[in-house]
Structure 1
């Protein structure tokens, strides 16, 4: 049976790593309380949101088509399971766009599509019909 973070002890430490105190030495257990009533995930049931926005921090490590993002995959999967539309923020490269499209994200935003504009710039875009550059 796996430990699941209950012991608070780290059993694997590379032999070349110095013996530096870590958070696990002072706190037990090291699990994240996602199932408690006050957690952010519990709020998905408590409040009926219209959509979910996924922060760019989940995309930053995507640099190659083969990069894996298990947390992002789980978030998108959860949103899909509860039929909640998602918007992925912070798409800056074609590789990131391909990745979130493979996950099934229909709405994306980020510098890959254009830079932020002020009110005058937005009025100009609206007058031209807001054609997407990509």
Structure 2
């Protein structure tokens, strides 16, 4: 299957808002609102309808969601996938799962699982270090959440 290249399409609003949140030009709650209405691409399971979740040692269980099909393909290769809105994704996920959005990119942000079983969200979470304070990453490396 041919996937679109990242440079061929304008960035989705979710990406632009995430960049602004990380740079502290917008409130983190705006990311939650943008996430809810955004089209997201997630890797789906092969044997049944559902999305793939990963256990990150010491960091809990997470679903990787991507703002474009090209980003999903860049991260995971040619895999089975599905697309849904952020709100629908959160409605379908079991409690206690977090969501990592565009994990490979500088604008990537987590939606954190809530301690008392509420929906994962970013708003109210501690922001990552300011972009100017963040050390440079060598090309091809991924941020660690």
Superposition TM-score tier, normalisation by shorter sequence:
under 0.3
Query: What TM-score, normalized by structure 2, do the two folds share?
Result: 0.25
Higher helix proportion: 1
Question: Highest Rg: 1 or 2?
Answer: 1
Q: Which has the higher contact order (CA 8 A, sep 6+)?
A: 2
